[in-house]
Copies of this chain bind each other. A is one copy, B any other.
């Protein structure tokens, strides 16, 4: 099932977003342009601008005013990816070389800063304090989330609450804000803004749990990065958490996941233990829970055609293998 089906009501606008992403990278410094354009051309699902546009579309047909904020949201996402790749020492992302591996850590740090500043400059053009406030606050919380994830690595004593907080900051927040800002820019009612914001939050949670599942069970070709990369980096995700608490080999798994050496050397063995514990099934159950919660928020929103797309998006995430 192609993502294009869900994006069809906004396909024209998504093309403009794509063009504007490149056009907004116009530094005088060639290497900053190259690094940034490489990142844009590496692609990605462009989920955040899509959610912004779809949310705005609930309230209006004319999305011209929404495009800059949609572009800014994708840029904020990209800026955080560049810095993550520096921190994770990642060499590939979505099957392409990372900015870090192609240009080095130094260019990557500045390219991330540059792209973030560009995004905030686009957001400033709305002359609305509420919009810049939401974005700046989100940027701060995303940083906090990265630090929580960093501090939580190889720590098998942290529970579900820590995991949920991590994925909220890492993914759900920016998807939630993407929906929220789409509605805010077109001046939807407060109640509607809250409903799309909550929809985005639950959908984002479902999306990240699925991501964490795929990191364990998908293969490198589909994933665009090596299978088990979370495990190798000591990032303990929901399937592993479940296995730690429910596998008959919980104690051994805890020993393996606590050690950077065994996480790196015995990744396949850890994966097998997680799969055997039914940690994957449990995580799918949680994903479905969040997807349903997302769909439930839609009842507070106007009954227009695009609502069906938002509804199906949640089902799509459950079935995704991308």
Contact = CB atoms under 8 A, between A and B. Distances in A.
A128 B117 CA distance: 16
A127 B124 CA distance: 9
B129 A124 contact: yes
One complex includes copies of this chain to the number of 2
Contact of A147 (B83, B107, B117, B129): B107
A139 B124 contact: no
B136 A117 contact: yes
A212 to B, nearest CB: 21
7 contacts: A118-B136, A118-B140, A120-B139, A121-B137, A121-B140, A123-B132, A124-B136
Contacts of A32: 143-144, 147
Given A120-B120, A127-B127, A31 B151 contact: yes
Interface stretch (A15-23, A108-116, A282-290): A108-116
Interface of A: 27-29, 31-32, 83, 86-87, 105-107, 109-114, 116-118, 120-121, 123-129, 132-133, 136-137, 139-140, 143-144, 146-148, 150-151
A86 B104 CA distance: 13
Given A87-B110, A117-B139, A117-B140, 10 more contacts: A29-B144, A32-B143, A110-B147, A111-B143, A113-B139, A121-B132, A121-B137, A125-B129, A125-B133, A126-B129
A87 B104 CA distance: 10
Nearest to A84: B109
B113 A132 contact: no
